[in-house]
Amino acid sequence: MGLSPLDWLLGLFSLDIGIDLGTANTLVYVRGKGIVINEPSYAAIEKKTRRPITYGQEAKEMGGKAPSHILVVRPLRDGVISEFEITEGMLHYFIGKAHEQSWVPIPRPRVV
């Protein structure tokens, strides 16, 4: 399956991202820049609503210090996603964070 001319052109300006979603840490690699994010695979969520508050290092630092209505979780266990929705939010967060570091307003990243 070939690329359309538009897809090829957008590919020249897209941010190529590789993600290593690990139980302990999540790494985000950007082509031409190397590893731009290396943060713990943690999420801080509200207990009742399960609404995300923050992810990564900031969430890990909340562990043991957060108020009782905030739960700090590790959404991956033994290399397997155990909290799908939380992991999805964490991926969006890390992709967005890598995308913010780009100096060109890129339409969408290509993720592997």
CATH code for position 34:
3.30.420.40
Task: Report pLDDT for 111.
Answer: 79
CA distance 53 to 70: 8
| 49 domain-assigned | yes
Q: Exposed, middle or buried, 75 (CB in 10 Å: 0-12/13-18/19+)?
A: buried
Task: Report pLDDT for 110.
Answer: 75
| 111 domain-assigned | no
Q: Is 42 helix (H, G, I), strand (E, B) or coil?
A: coil
Are 87 and 76 in contact, with CB atoms under 8 Å apart?
Answer: yes
In 3D, which of 22, 12, 19 has the Cα closest to residue 36?
19
Number of domains in the chain: 1
| 27 domain-assigned | yes
Q: Is the pTM of this model over 0.85?
A: no
Supply the range of the domain harboring residue 26: 5-103
CA distance 23 to 78: 6
Please tell me what DSSP assigns to residue 28. E
| 78 domain-assigned | yes
How does pLDDT run along the chain (112 residues), one tens digit per residue?
Answer: 566 776 666 556 678 899 999 999 999 998 888 999 999 999 999 999 999 999 999 999 999 999 999 999 999 999 899 999 999 999 999 998 987 766 656 566 777 7
CA distance 86 to 53: 11
Task: Report pLDDT for 91.
Answer: 96
Are 97 and 13 in contact, with CB atoms under 8 Å apart?
Answer: no
| 109 domain-assigned | no
| 74 domain-assigned | yes
Task: Report pLDDT for 3.
Answer: 64
| 95 domain-assigned | yes
